[in-house]
Amino acid sequence: MANLAIIPARGGSKRIPRKNIKPFLGKPIIAYSIEAALKSKLFDEVMVSTDDQEIADIAIKYGAKVPFLRSKENANDFAVLAEVIEGVLINYSIKSIKFDNICCILPAAPFINSIKIEQAHSTLLENDFASVFTVLEYSFPIQRSLKIKNTMASMVWEEHMNTRSQDLEPRFHDSGQFYWLNTNRFLEDKKLFTTNSGAIIISQLEAQDIDTESDWRLAELKYKLMINDQDNTI
Please give, one letter per residue, the 3-state secondary structure of 140-180: CCHHHCEEEECCEEEECCHHHCCCCHHHCCCCEEEEEEEEE
In a domain, 168, yes or no: no
pLDDT at 233: 59
In a domain, 18, yes or no: yes
Residue ranges making up the domain that contains 99: 3-134+173-233
Question: CA 146 to CA 152: how far, in whole Å?
Answer: 10
**Spacing of C-alpha 191 from chain mean position:** 14
Question: CA 152 to CA 224: how far, in whole Å?
Answer: 40
Give me the CATH number covering residue 34. Answer: 3.90.550.10
Residue 90 has pLDDT above 90, yes or no: yes
* Sheet architecture: strand order including 101-105: 45-49, 3-8, 101-105, 172-182, 131-137, 197-202
In a domain, 147, yes or no: no
Number of residues that make up the chain? 234
Q: Report pLDDT digits (tens) over 148-159.
A: 999 999 999 999
What total of structural domains would you count in the chain?
1
Q: Is 227 exposed, middle or buried (0-12, 13-18, 19+ CB in 10 A)?
A: exposed
Q: Report pLDDT digits (tens) over 19-58.
A: 999 999 999 999 999 999 999 999 999 999 999 999 999 9
Residue 91 has pLDDT above 90, yes or no: yes
